[in-house]
Amino acid sequence: MEATTESAKGQLNQPLLQKSSSDCLVIKQKTAEDEDQQQQQFQLKTRVWIETKKLWHIVGPSIFSRLASYSMNIVTQAFAGHLGEVELASISIANNVIVGFNFGLLLGMASALETLCGQAFGAKKYNLLGIYMQRSWIVLSICCILLLPFYMYATPVLKVLGQPDDVAEQSGLVALWFLPMHFSFAFQCPLQRFLQSQLKTGVLVWVSSVAFVIHVIISWIFVHQLQLGVVGAAIALDISWWVLVLGMLGYTVWGGCPQTWTGFSIQAFSGLWDFTRLSASAGVMLCLENWYYRILILMTGNLKNATIALDALSVCMAINGWEMMIPLAFFAATGVRVANELGAGNGKAAKFATKVSVVQSTFIGIFIAVLVLLLQNQMAYIFSSSPLVIQAVNNFSYLLAFTILLNSVQPVLSGVAVGSGWQAWVAYVNLTCYYLIGIPMGIVLGWVMDLGVQGIWGGMIFGGTAVQTGILAIITIHRDWDKEAENARMNIRKLSLPASDSLA
């Protein structure tokens, strides 16, 4: 009887033991899953931190060097502004319109080096970087010669565009004195990208700092002490840009880049046609972006009674110009990081670098956009004391904030395109979005619907920049990054020297 009772108890306890064993198994599985999730989160945080350090190793110095270069132009305009209204207008037009037009093209053409040097450095084909840079010097120097008519005939062109005779003649004179600076771009832009592609960014900070200090000193000497006027201001800017060139060149040639600079080579003249085609497509891609906002100012100037609106827009564009140094630094850094990883055959790492860069640049853009909205009643006082201009700037603050936010994403995606070598088809995207959608929409909203400068600006931002950003985002998300890495390898093979083909 007792045995029967014990047997019954065992049968009753058996389901309980099975259930307890099952619960323990579930708990163990859940614990293992939690540990795996924690491990993945830890690995993600580690990857983000490592990528952030690599990214900001380029972004930080790039922001500083770009701000220093931009500030040299501001200093020149400030010295010219104390000479008189005509002098200020002539320096502004010559520097922002004539030089700006040509610099945009040359800067864009030099961005081909971000693709080629970045991918070659990632693939450890170090000897190719110096050859690529020399090819870029050759191509950009020829382009500088072809662009000379813009300087030589600046006066009649400006008169045709409606500038007053005295301003047009003075601007033409200043443009001729800017020719030394014009030719410095053919060397400065490739040198900067050559150094960035191999993460030699510290030298950019030092060279930019020295050039800025020298510029302030010699501007004061030439303008005030030697009484050379607006010509002295132009000469000072010429010298300062060549200081940038000589500083980076000296670092490169005298041992700063032992792996990537092996001296001047006749081999730089080989493969120029393929190099020129990539440079031209890169130049067109960035030029279409660079000229877009200059067209905004030009269109605003043709509105009736546009003096106040134009002054307010100039203030907004000045603020936007200062802030743009940050996303432009992300543009350069993203191009280098993507190119390095693709050159090394790491497609997924290039995709991850893109995500980190977009997120960080966007957060910075949100912060600055919010700051603009909070300080909309104060920021205009930096540039003007006119109540009408200040009120107009306040009215534009929401458009300015949205422009800043949008520009925190768009340059990063353009950097991805440069790092991947997509310049040719992105040029078509820019042409379509900016000039076939954005500008017509701005004209319709500004003139047809009589919304003035807000209509022009809003149409160009929402119809052009926003659409272009959306298209680039969709394309970037849906790219096969492993295939992009293979394309980078093929690109290196194609543009490598015959002696290097066996190493590819």
308-346 residue pLDDT tens = 676 677 677 778 877 888 888 898 889 888 888 888 888
**Regions of the chain short of the pLDDT cut 70:** 1-42, 85, 162-163, 297-308, 310-311, 314, 382-385, 494-504
Instruction: Count how many residues are written for the chain.
Output: 504
pLDDT at residue 245 in the model:
94
CA distance 365 to 406: 8
Structure-block tokens of residue 104: 């945009």
pTM exceeds 0.75, yes or no:
yes
Q: Which residues contact 323 (CB under 8 A, 6 or more apart)?
A: 368, 404, 407
- The pLDDT of residue 4: 53
In this prediction, residue 448 carries a pLDDT of 83
Q: Give how far Cα 70 sits from Cα of 62, 175, 190, 204, 212, Å.
A: 12, 18, 18, 14, 10
The C-alpha atoms of residue 361 and residue 482 are separated, in whole angstroms, by 25
pLDDT at 90: 78
What pLDDT is recorded for position 217?
93
Asked if residue 17 lies in contact with residue 24, where contact means CB atoms within 8 angstroms, the answer is no
Predicted local confidence at residue 12, as pLDDT: 47
CA distance 359 to 357: 6
